[in-house]
């Protein structure tokens, strides 16, 4: 049975995949294959934005660090996602650091190749405006979640996003997702935007209720239905 990591990434992470096929084919013709080992850095925050990457296989973590060194995980991306497209459009430095959580296979399209293809297909500009508007709307939704959702909802959303790409369905219970990865509570906290101590208290409560099981130090078995209810405003029990 395929794992969650084999499925397409969420729509918000696929912002260039709706491009007309002739344009995509032009990009893919100029693309080169890139492979990453687990924990290998794809690019660092502040590096030149020289192109974007189509994710064909593997899982990536997108993160930023504050001036004090505190990490915030912005997203976990899997097959179907595109990474670095904003820097390719505006030519500005990378806005985050991207690291492989699993071995990855990607296609790299340079900014030069993108701009050349854009000259041959000028009506793509309208699509790019829609793309940037969608990204802004997604950022607004994230900001609203950070402002209005309580800690359990944020932790549930983070765990579900991680499980989407790193989880696999339990062989005995289709509602249970097994995440076998070196996933520390500090990682969950960084993605949820809460303190690690808050994650610890939330996970302890969910363990007591049987909604989550911690196997060893880093593996999790979660109840998808219960966490989805927690992650939905007004639905948490």
pLDDT (tens digit per residue) in 73-103: 888 888 888 888 877 778 889 989 999 988 9
Residues 6+ apart with CB under 8 A from 132: 86, 89
pLDDT tens digits along 105-132: 999 988 888 888 888 777 777 777 776 6
Question: Are 199 and 116 within 8 A, CB to CB?
Answer: no
Q: Please give the Cα distance from 221 to 223 (Å, whole number).
A: 7
> 219 to each of 72, 159, 167, how far by Cα in Å?
21, 12, 10
Tens-digit pLDDT profile for residues 9-53: 333 334 455 667 777 777 777 789 999 999 999 999 999 888 889
Q: In angstroms, rounded to a whole number, what is the distance separating the alpha carbons of residues 16 and 52?
A: 10
Quickly list H helices, the chain: 21-29, 85-90, 111-120, 124-148, 151-166, 185-192, 196-209, 224-231
**Domains annotated on the chain, with CATH:** 4-146 (2.60.120.10), 150-231 (1.10.10.10)
- The whole-number pLDDT of residue 12 equals 33
Residue 13 contacts by C-beta under 8 Å, 6 or more apart in sequence?
A: 75, 77, 80, 81, 82
Query: Global pTM?
Result: 0.69
Phi, psi of 181 (to 5 degrees): -160, 155
d(CA 102, CA 36): 8
pLDDT tens per residue, range 117-171: 888 777 777 777 776 677 677 767 766 666 678 899 999 988 888 888 888 888 7
CB atoms within 10 A of CB 23: 18
- In terms of Cα–Cα distance, which of 80, 70, 43 is closest to 187? 70
Element (DSSP H or E) covering residue 109: strand 104-110
Of 135 and 185, more confident: 185
Distance, in Å, from the CA atom of 158 to the CA atom of 206, rounded to the nearest integer, reads 14
Q: How far is CA 68 from CA 64, 97, 146, 179, 184, in A?
A: 11, 16, 21, 30, 20
| Degrees, nearest 5: CA angle 101-104-107 | 135
Please provide residue 221's backbone torsions phi and psi, each rounded to the nearest 5 degrees.
Answer: -120, 120
- Specify the residue for token string 């309208």: 126
């Amino acid at each position: 049975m395929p794992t969650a990591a084999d499925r397409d990434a969420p729509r918000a992470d696929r912002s260039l995949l709706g491009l007309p096929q002739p344009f995509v084919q032009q990009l893919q013709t100029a693309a080169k294959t890139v492979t990453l080992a687990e924990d290998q850095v794809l690019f660092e925050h502040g590096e030149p934005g020289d192109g974007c990457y189509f994710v064909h296989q593997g899982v990536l973590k997108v993160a930023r660090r504050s001036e004090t060194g505190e990490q915030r995980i912005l997203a976990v991306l899997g097959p179907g996602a595109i990474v670095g497209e904003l820097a390719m459009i505006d030519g500005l430095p990378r806005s985050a650091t991207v690291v492989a959580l699993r071995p990855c296979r990607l296609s790299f399209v340079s900014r030069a190749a993108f701009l050349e293809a854009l000259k041959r297909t000028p009506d793509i500009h309208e699509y790019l405006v829609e793309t940037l508007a969608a990204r802004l709307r997604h950022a607004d939704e994230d900001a609203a979640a950070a402002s209005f959702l309580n800690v359990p909802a944020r932790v549930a959303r983070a765990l579900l996003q991680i499980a989407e790409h790193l989880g696999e369905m339990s062989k005995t219970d289709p509602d249970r997702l097994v995440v076998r990865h070196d996933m520390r509570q500090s990682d969950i906290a960084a993605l949820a935007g809460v303190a690690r101590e808050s994650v610890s208290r939330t996970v302890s409560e969910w363990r007591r209720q049987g909604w989550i099981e911690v196997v060893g130090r880093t593996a999790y078995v979660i109840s998808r239905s219960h966490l989805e209810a927690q992650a939905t405003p007004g639905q948490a029990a």
